[in-house]
Amino acid sequence: MVLQPGAAAGGGLGPPRLPDRHGPPLCSCPSPPAPGPRCPRGTRRLSETGAGMRRNDSAGGRGGLRAAASLPHIARGRGAEEGGGRRSPCLLVALRPRNVEAERERFFRASFAYDPQFEYAEPVPAAVLDKYGAASDRFVAQAIRIIRAVLEKYGTYESFEVATGGRLLSKCQIWSVIRKYMQKEGCVGEVVVQLTDDLLSQAVMMVEDSRPTLAINLAGARQHWLEGMLRHEIGTHYIRGVNNTRQPWHSSEGRKQYSLKPANPTEEGLASLHSVLFRKQPFLWRAALLYYTIERASRLSFSALFQDLEQYVQDAGIRWEYCVRAKRGQTDTSQPGCFSKDQVYLDGILRILRHRQTIDFPLLAALGKVSYEDVNRLKKFGVLEKARIPHFMQDLERYMKQLDHIVTTNGLNEEELEQLLPD
């Protein structure tokens, strides 16, 4: 789906140019890779929403990519592909075991008493494994409290999903919600939207063929959750990305010049808060369970982790996917070890909630891909004219009340957050 220009609310900026980052390209990985895959030329993963689970094994999607001549062109950065050298493999392809389905079948046939032996189409980059090889236990107590609060109220995760997410939407209903949301943000015609039923995450934002592309998992498109996903991907990642292109720190050299802190955990924490922002019961279940699973994976084998998660998730298929996600990158999963990247969601959420009374949220969006810690220092250098602000931030009083509601719903409090994250 492509929404054509002309119906956008407000003027805003013209079609954005989002330069690719240097380094290994990132992309979505809808299905287990065949031997020797490469990222499609011009494809780069920008963000991934949650840990949505692929609940069927069929190939191909029920929705497709719709072409349009009016999409903004996104300039490719110089880097890995210049000079005719061998291109780096897609990170998500490299981390997706190529024998994951065969090992899943063997694991289930063994009544879960087997530790998968994963194989990868490409060697997993050592730098990636080093970066994400250690888990944190800093927020484990908070993660467990959030998980238990959901189970106490709803009994099971599956009941929580149905009660709070509502019914699954048809493709026509999904297109309608997307179209209305794009109009609210003034970005009609700027983002290609693809619907698929073969995606591990709920959604992924990427640059494909030099165009911003949002892939949405049909299995996760629920009545009351879809707009939250759009706030996550479009209202946070995309808008901050567009604003970032106008800033003097839009390049890696500029970030060094201004001594910027990493964009994460602010980026994913903010996006995750926006996912649940206007839910009646804004539980942080997904971020909490990912955090807990990864911490336990660092201490347990695959089979022991699978058994440990049974206290929180009864569905064996969902547990399998969480375990694969936490153990990705490993070959012999009988050994303790994890891929800790997904801990960034709860980490970022708690840091933002801790400092929410002093963060200038519209400015945090306007300045682009920056940490909340850098906002006050950078505002005098930022290009703020015509900056895009997400529509849901424009009633700032309501926005702040919703953040307070998230704190209360998840059993958090100011004193605890201050002790966890002292100034």
Question: Cis (ω within 30 of 0) for the bond into 265?
Answer: yes
> What long-range pairs does 382-387 form, CB within 8 A, spacing at least 24?
382/247, 383/246, 383/247, 383/248, 386/11, 386/12, 386/13, 387/243, 387/246
**67 token code pair:** 């072409």
AA letter at 266 = T
Contact present, 121 and 36 (Cβ < 8 Å): yes
Which of 141, 390, 146, 174 is closest to 271 using CA atoms? 390
* Angle between helix 344-354 and 285-297 (nearest 10): 130
Point out which residues pair with 194 in neighbouring strands. 215
DSSP letter string, 10-32: S---SS---PPPSSS------SP
The bridge status of strand 203-208 relative to strand 211-217 is antiparallel
Q: In degrees rounded to 5, what are phi and psi of residue 123?
A: -60, 130
Q: Which of 391, 191, 379, 371 is nearest to 274 (CA)?
A: 391
Q: Which candidate in 233, 268, 295, 321 is catalytic?
A: 233
Is 233 labeled as catalytic in the residue annotation? yes
Catalytic center residues = 233
